[in-house]
């Protein structure tokens, strides 16, 4: 007999539960609504991406969940603890990594920074703190780098931040643009570390502008746009639901053929985009009803070496917020 267990056992309390959350800054004509009745649920063990344009409210939400600032309305709970009424319990459950280089002790080495941090966060005993610090620094490639943090590059400081978060094995890891300033190898390593943190039982909230990163590692993503949640779904759902597609040519197209494609597509309805990157040409097709016209146009050139793929998360994101261009309120 098979049974759907998910309907039998009550699902565990979410790691993050945000209900009707609001936050404003300033007053009078300078009043700015940073978060407007935000609802968000992050399940235990999930890597949840927080996407959205500059000024959307991602850092404000991360800072509220980290108890750095308080909400002006609504509630936010982390591992069941209310951020406004029980901030110390929330702080014991989380670790925060901000983009940039604030919050480290410049005159201390990474090892000293982390030992200090471990002790301040309840790791008992000097030996244990030393060991935790050493292991975390090994994971970010900074083992044995024995000089003051103030002499580090921005990306190296960012790695110390990350090691600090990993050293305390938090229930919830809050990362606000953690790859900012990291070189490509370190950024890729960060993805691995986030996946490892999930495997070790942490829940991760990841605010990022890197759509490839979000698509690669997030179980769910939410779009925060002008202080409100736009969508909240798995990357696969979003890519499927968007209805659009991409036509990608695996080999560089001869310029004559490319021109024919451009001419044929210009006769079709708007929104079609042709991009060329590293010798690969991609046509972005926003609407499913445009697909037949695009394929006819492509096949008419005699080219057959192409693949039709679902849109990327970046395509979905651009379709959702892209029409406003660079405008920031
Ligand atoms: N301390 C503050 N005082 C006044 N306004 C603020 C303050 N902090 C944030 N804001 C405003 O709140 C809004 C949301 O900012 P927030 O930093 O949360 O955006 P974000 O989504 O993190 O943007 P980005 O992608 O640029 O990091 C913005 O309009 C910002 O100007
Ligand atoms: Mg931000």
- pLDDT class of 307 with cuts at 50, 70, 90: very high
Q: Work out which ligand 1 atom sits closest to the CA atom of 227.
A: 14
Residues with CB under 6 A from ligand 1: 25-26, 32, 34, 52, 54-60
How far the first Cα of the chain sits from its last, in Å, is 57
pLDDT at 329: 64
* Confidence check: pLDDT of 120 > 70: yes
d(CA 156, CA 75): 36
**Mean pLDDT of the region 307-323:** 86
- The count of other CB atoms within 10 Å of the CB of residue 166 is 25
Helix-helix angle 184-199:154-167, to 10 degrees? 10
Whether residue 171 contacts residue 141, with contact meaning beta carbons closer than 8 Å, is answered with no
Average pLDDT of every residue of the chain: 89
Strand order in the sheet with 306-309: 273-277, 280-285, 245-249, 306-309
235's tokens = 């990357």
| Residue that the structure tokens 């970010």 belong to | 140
- pLDDT-derived band at 1 (thresholds 50, 70, 90) equals very low
Report how far ligand 1's centroid is from the alpha carbon of 32 (Å).
Answer: 9
pLDDT at 275 over 60: yes
Q: Are strands 228-233 and 16-25 parallel, antiparallel or unpaired?
A: unpaired
Q: How far apart are CA 173 and CA 204, in angstroms?
A: 5
Ligand 2 centre distance from Cα of residue 265 (Å): 38
Neighbours of ion ligand 2 (CB under 5 A): 58-59
> What is the Cα–Cα distance from 222 to 229, expressed in whole angstroms?
7
């Amino acid at each position: 007999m098979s049974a759907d267990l998910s309907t039998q056992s009550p699902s565990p309390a979410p790691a993050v539960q945000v209900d009707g959350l609001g936050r404003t800054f300033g007053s009078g004509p300078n009043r700015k609504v940073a978060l407007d009745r935000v609802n968000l649920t992050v399940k235990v063990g999930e890597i949840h991406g927080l996407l959205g344009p500059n000024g959307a409210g991602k850092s404000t939400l991360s800072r509220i969940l980290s108890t750095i600032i308080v909400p002006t309305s609504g509630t936010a709970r982390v591992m069941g603890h209310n951020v406004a009424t029980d901030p110390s319990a929330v702080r014991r459950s989380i670790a925060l990594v901000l983009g940039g280089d604030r919050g480290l002790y410049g005159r201390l080495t990474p090892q000293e920074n982390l030992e200090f941090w471990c002790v301040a966060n309840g790791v008992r005993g000097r030996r244990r703190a030393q060991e935790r610090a050493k292991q975390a620094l090994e994971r970010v490639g900074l083992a044995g780098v024995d000089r003051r943090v103030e002499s580090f590059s921005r990306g190296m400081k960012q790695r110390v931040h990350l090691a600090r978060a990993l050293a305390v094995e938090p229930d919830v890891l809050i990362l606000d643009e953690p790859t900012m300033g990291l070189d490509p190898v370190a950024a890729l390593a960060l993805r691995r570390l986030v996946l490892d943190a999930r495997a070790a039982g942490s829940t991760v909230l990841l605010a990022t502008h890197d759509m490839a990163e979000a698509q690669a590692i997030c179980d769910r993503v939410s779009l925060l746009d002008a202080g409100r949640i736009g969508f909240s779904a798995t990357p696969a759902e979003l890519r499927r639901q968007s209805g659009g597609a991409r036509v990608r040519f695996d080999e560089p197209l001869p310029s004559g053929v490319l021109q024919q494609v451009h001419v044929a597509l210009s006769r079709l309805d708007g929104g079609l985009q042709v991009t060329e990157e590293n010798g690969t040409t991609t046509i972005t097709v926003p609407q499913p009803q445009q697909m037949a016209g695009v394929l006819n146009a492509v096949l008419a050139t005699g080219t057959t070496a192409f693949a039709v793929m679902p849109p990327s998360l970046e395509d979905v994101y651009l379709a959702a917020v892209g029409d406003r261009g660079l405008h920031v309120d």
